[in-house]
C-alpha cells in the first residue's frame, strides 16, 4: 500500500524558514516523480513543485521560485520542501503527492502538514 | 500567468448526470495538457480520479469518466450518488509545470 506521511509543519514568523518532509513507503520511491501541492484555508489546491526521479530536474510555481527548494533522498525514501522567506500568503496545508514513473499523472496523496505563517 | 477555470458550483439530483469542465487561458485544452481530475471531501486529502484525459485509476468508480469536450477538459458523473458531493479539481500540464483549476463544488440535492 502506498503511504505518504508529511511532517515538519508548524507556526513560523514572517521571514522565517521551515523544512517539510514526506516519508514514502509501499512503492519504489526512486522510480517516481514527486510533487508538493498546497491549500490555503478554505481555498483551492495550488501545485507548488515537482522533482524528477533522480533529483536532476525540478520545477516550481512562480510564486515560490527563489524561496522554496524541493529535494529528495532516495536512500531514505524521503521528499523534502525547504521553505524560506515565508510570508502570510504561504499559510496552507502542504501535501506531498506521488507523480508518474512514466506519463503524466498524480495518483497518491499524503494527509498534509499545516504551515502557519504569523507574527 | 496561466489560469485554469472551472464552474464554481453545480447541483445535480441523485441518479442524474453532470459534466464538470476545465478551461485554459492559453487556449484549447488538449491531450497534451494531460488533464487529471481529483475529488476532495471536507477535511480530507484529495483523491485522484482521472489521469491523461480519460484514464481511470484502479479505485475510480465506473460512473466517473473523463474526456475532452470542445476546447475544454471534462469530467462526467453518470448515476450520481449522494457520496459524490464534494469539491472537484482539474489539473493541467504546461510543459514542466502544472496548474490546478479553482475547483467545482458539486452539490447532490
The DSSP-derived string for A48-78 is EEEE-TTSS-EEE-GGGTTTEEEEEETTTTE
- What is the model's pLDDT at position A100? 85
Residues of A with CB below 8 A from B30's CB? none
Contact between chains at B89 and A50 (C-beta distance less than 8 A): no
Query: Is residue B23 scored above 90 in pLDDT?
Result: yes
A48 touches chain B (CB under 8 A): no
- What is the model's pLDDT at position A102? 76
Per cent of chain A over pLDDT 70 is 100
**B28: pLDDT confidence band, cut at 50, 70 and 90?**
very high
DSSP secondary structure code for residue A116 in this structure: E
Residues of B with CB below 8 A from A111's CB? 45
Query: Is residue A92 scored above 90 in pLDDT?
Result: yes
Dist. CA A60–CA B21, nearest whole Å = 25
Contact between chains at A106 and B48 (C-beta distance less than 8 A): yes
Amino acid at each position: 500500500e502506498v503511504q505518504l506521511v508529511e511532517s515538519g509543519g508548524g507556526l513560523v514568523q514572517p521571514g522565517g524558514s521551515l523544512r517539510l518532509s514526506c516519508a514514502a513507503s509501499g512503492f519504489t520511491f526512486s522510480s517516481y516523480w514527486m510533487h508538493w501541492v498546497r491549500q490555503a484555508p478554505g481555498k483551492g489546491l495550488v501545485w507548488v513543485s515537482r522533482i524528477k526521479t533522480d533529483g536532476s530536474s525540478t520545477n516550481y510555481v512562480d510564486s515560490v521560485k527563489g524561496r522554496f527548494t524541493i529535494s529528495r533522498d532516495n536512500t531514505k525514501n524521503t521528499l523534502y520542501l525547504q521553505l524560506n522567506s515565508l510570508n502570510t500568503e504561504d499559510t496552507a496545508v502542504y501535501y506531498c503527492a506521488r507523480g508518474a514513473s512514466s506519463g503524466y499523472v498524480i495518483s497518491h496523496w499524503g494527509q498534509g502538514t499545516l504551515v502557519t505563517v504569523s507574527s | 500567468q496561466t489560469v485554469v477555470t472551472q464552474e464554481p458550483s453545480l447541483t445535480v439530483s441523485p441518479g442524474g448526470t453532470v459534466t464538470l469542465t476545465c478551461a485554459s487561458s492559453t487556449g484549447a485544452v488538449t491531450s497534451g495538457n494531460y488533464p487529471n481530475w481529483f475529488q476532495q471531501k471536507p477535511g480530507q486529502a484529495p483523491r485522484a480520479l482521472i489521469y491523461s484525459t480519460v484514464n481511470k485509476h484502479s479505485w475510480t468508480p465506473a460512473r466517473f469518466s473523463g474526456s475532452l469536450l470542445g476546447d475544454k477538459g471534462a469530467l462526467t458523473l453518470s448515476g450520481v450518488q449522494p457520496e459524490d458531493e464534494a469539491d472537484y479539481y482539474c489539473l493541467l500540464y504546461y510543459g514542466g509545470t502544472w496548474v490546478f483549476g479553482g475547483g467545482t463544488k458539486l452539490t447532490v440535492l
